[in-house]
Structure 1
Amino acid sequence: MSTIIAGRFETFAHAETTATRLMAKGVRQDDLTMFYVNPPGQHGTYPIGGDEAVDPGAKHAGRGAGRGVLMGAALGAGVGICLAAALRAWYAAPPQPWVLILVLVCATGVGAYAGSLMGALSQTRGRNVRVRHAGVLLAAHVSSDNTSLVANELRQNGAQDVERADGQWRDGNWEDFDPLVPPVPVGR
């Protein structure tokens, strides 16, 4: 495994300028590579798109939807009973029984749907995981002698998300780069 230090830039031109400065300070050209990293969720890991088969934040959404259906249906049924009673009171001739049943069924269905939606959303959690942002990544294969030099030079030239990784460096390329692996920031 090789030690790799990388920084994210907004443009290729900015990354190329930084690469030139690194080479002027003794970093070999075959120890540098740059490439564009797509935004999160757009790495095409799956044929139909996306990076993950299942969103980990939605793990408990089904359970929440089940609870929500029950509570929403009960609330909807209560509203339906109240509406049916109001219809009977407002009209001199009571409506047909099928109208009252239809009101009750519709109110229960609307309540169940709204409850399932709110229940599922209440159990959906946002991620607290560090993600790799889109941009041009300038990566350098480093040794213990020039690790801090490369990290400092990346920062001084405006790199964002300066990170450290262990990976396979072969023929001037970071062979096993995985855009889904969260970056590990380099300490100052």
Structure 2
Amino acid sequence: MNLALFDFDGTLTKQDSLNEFLKHSVSRKNYIVNMFKFLPYFTLWQLKLINNGVAKEHLFRIFFKDIDEEFFKKTATEFSLKKLDFIISKERIKILKKHQANGDRVVIVSASMQCWLQPWCDKNSIELLSTKLEFKNGTFSGKFLTPNCHGIEKENRIKAHLNLQEYKTIYAYGDSSGDKEMLALAHKSIRY
């Protein structure tokens, strides 16, 4: 059996699903206000004073801390099933579907959140390794449950989930420096 590992944002999509989810989840006014609140963390990240996982956790805390878990998950599922297909690249999804048709094991490995990727992955019979949010007592704690699934964490998650020795050929598809470690695991890596 062969294995095909796919990054999601920028590899399978034409736009970043995180920003689309944020716009979907709050009013235009709240989106703009929250992005201004996030600006200091964005600046620190751009200056490489904090890593992208820390910056992203601050972003989610600003937008969603203390949001009701059921409401949030309902919003994420709605976004996943009604909006994601509009930002998926038709050419790239054909590559993924070809792997599935060939009987290859297909896994999406993404820094984006499980809450809005899982319903879409379930609908398309795709395994998912991604970042998870922490909910406590029915609300979002403002923290991640798992490390941000980016860079070396992609490699860590893949190795924890799969025995790579079982696969005749490993394919990996990515588009950014955050996919470097995942691409290095593959016999055939494709960078967009």
Whether the TM-score (by the shorter chain) exceeds 0.5 is: no
Higher relative contact order (CA 8 A, sep 6+): 1
Q: Greater share of helix residues, 1 or 2? A: 2
